[in-house]
Amino acid sequence: MSEAGRKKLLLGMLGALLLVFAWQQLPERSSPSSRNSQIEDAAANRPRRTRGGRRTRTVEQPREVRELMVSALDPEPSRFKIGRNLWAFYTPPVAPPPPPPPRPEREYTPPPPPPPPPPPRDPTLPEIRFSYLGSFGPKDRRIAVLADGDELINALEGDVVLNDFRVAKIGYESVYIEYVDFPDEEPQQLEVGG
């Protein structure tokens, strides 16, 4: 298409758009009865001359009386509450505690069987691992001196030594030792240095 043809086409489209626009801007065409009512309204609102040359306008009276809505006269309620106490501290509402988590359903498991009873105590007598060094004190209250490695132990008759032994009798050169857990056993005699 040539340039002149394009210009003609664009001008034709522009003209068509102007016609559509002008058509929309024209006042509405009305029926004859509506024209008569418009003429009457215009005549009623036309200013009239009174004495003194003043012009007054008459206002058309409404043809129907509308009912008054009393609720429309009330002021709109405010979104804000009135009556806030400035001297009271605000305590925010406490959120309810979250519900406890559901308990998982567990199958019933019987309790484990009781442990077997401990084996009977071995009837072997504990080994005496200390030595008798001698005694001192009055004749009726003698004190035996025993040595367990580097530790010295002083004991009266009837005292328990190292949780397993009891001093039964203290002599000048020997001591008699009983077993605490085996009271029926005969006391063992330890001599000085032995």
- What digits encode the pLDDT tens for the residues 33-63? 555 565 566 555 555 555 665 666 666 777 7
Q: The domain 131-191: what is its CATH number?
A: 2.30.30
**Region class of 52: left (phi > 0), else alpha (psi between -120 and 50), else beta:** left
Domain-by-domain residue ranges, the chain?
Answer: 131-191
Give strand pairing partners of 144: 135, 155
- What digits encode the pLDDT tens for the residues 104-153? 787 778 888 999 988 776 667 888 888 999 999 888 899 999 998 888 99
- Quote the tokens at residue 139: 């004749």
Contact 135, 144 (CB under 8 A): yes
Q: What is the pLDDT of residue 42?
A: 58
List the end-to-end C-alpha distance of the chain, in Å, as a whole number.
Answer: 138
